[in-house]
C-alpha cells in the first residue's frame, strides 16, 4: 500500500471522485503543511496555521497506479487559482500535490508539465508539488461528509461553482 495526498480546496468535495475506484483502500480528510501540531478545523479555516485541507488516499499501486490518481485529481480543481478554490477563498484552500516518494514526485511534475503544455488554460498552472509532511486527520464529522450529509454536500458542490467549472473546463 502507498499513500497519496492531494489538496484541492474543500476536502469534502475531494473524497467522492476517488472512493469507488479499484485499489483504493481508504480516504481520510485532513490537514497538511502547516506549523501547528494537531490543528483543529477552527484553527485551519482561519488560514493562519499554514495548513491546507487535503485528502490522504491509501491505495494499491498494482491495482490503481499513482498516474491514475493524478488523472482523477487534476479535473477536480482549478489549477490556475492560487487564492483558493471556487467559493472557498484563502491559503487553506489552495491546491497542491504532496508526494510521498521520488516516483510520485517525478510523476506529479510530469503530469503538471503535460497539463501546462496542453494549453487547456490561458493562465499558468499554480498547483504546488511538495514533499508530504505530517498528516493530521480532520475531525470525525468531516470524514465521509458527502455520505453523512448528502443534501448539504450536494448544495455545497452546486453553490461553490466547482461542478460548473468542472463541466466547463474539464468535460471538453
Q: Is the pTM of this model over 0.85?
A: yes
**In contact, 95 and 127? CB cutoff 8 Å:** yes
The CATH number assigned to the domain holding 137 equals: 3.30.1060.10
Domain span including residue 129: 2-170
In angstroms, how far is the first alpha carbon of the chain from the final one?
33
Distance from C-alpha of 138 to C-alpha of 38, rounded to nearest angstrom: 9
Rounded Cα distance between 145 and 159, Å, is 16
pLDDT in tens, 18-71: 998 999 999 999 999 999 999 999 999 999 999 999 999 999 999 999 999 999
**CA-only gyration radius of the chain, Å:** 15
Give the percent of the chain with pLDDT over 70: 99
Q: Give the residue numbers annotated as catalytic, written as ranges.
A: 10
Residue 5 exposure: Cα atoms within 13 Å on the Cβ side = 24
Mean pLDDT of 91-100: 98
Number of structural domains in the chain: 1
Q: Look up cell 488523472; give the residue.
A: 71
8 Å CB contact between 97 and 127 = yes
Amino acid at each position: 500500500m502507498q499513500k497519496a495526498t492531494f489538496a484541492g480546496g474543500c476536502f469534502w468535495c475531494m473524497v467522492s471522485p476517488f472512493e469507488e475506484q479499484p485499489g483504493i483502500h481508504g480516504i481520510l480528510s485532513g490537514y497538511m503543511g502547516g506549523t501547528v501540531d494537531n490543528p483543529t478545523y477552527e484553527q485551519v479555516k482561519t488560514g493562519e496555521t499554514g495548513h491546507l485541507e487535503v485528502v490522504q488516499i491509501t491505495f494499491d499501486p498494482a491495482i490503481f497506479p499513482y498516474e491514475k490518481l493524478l488523472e482523477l485529481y487534476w479535473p477536480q480543481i482549478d489549477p490556475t487559482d492560487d487564492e483558493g478554490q471556487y467559493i472557498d477563498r484563502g491559503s487553506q484552500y489552495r491546491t497542491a500535490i504532496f508526494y510521498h516518494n521520488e516516483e510520485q514526485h517525478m510523476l506529479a511534475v510530469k503530469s503538471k508539465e503535460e497539463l501546462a503544455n496542453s494549453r487547456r488554460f490561458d493562465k499558468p498552472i499554480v498547483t504546488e508539488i511538495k514533499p508530504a509532511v505530517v498528516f493530521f486527520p480532520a475531525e470525525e464529522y468531516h470524514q465521509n461528509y458527502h455520505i453523512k450529509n448528502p443534501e448539504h454536500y450536494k448544495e455545497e458542490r452546486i453553490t461553490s461553482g466547482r461542478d460548473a467549472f468542472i463541466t466547463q473546463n474539464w468535460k471538453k
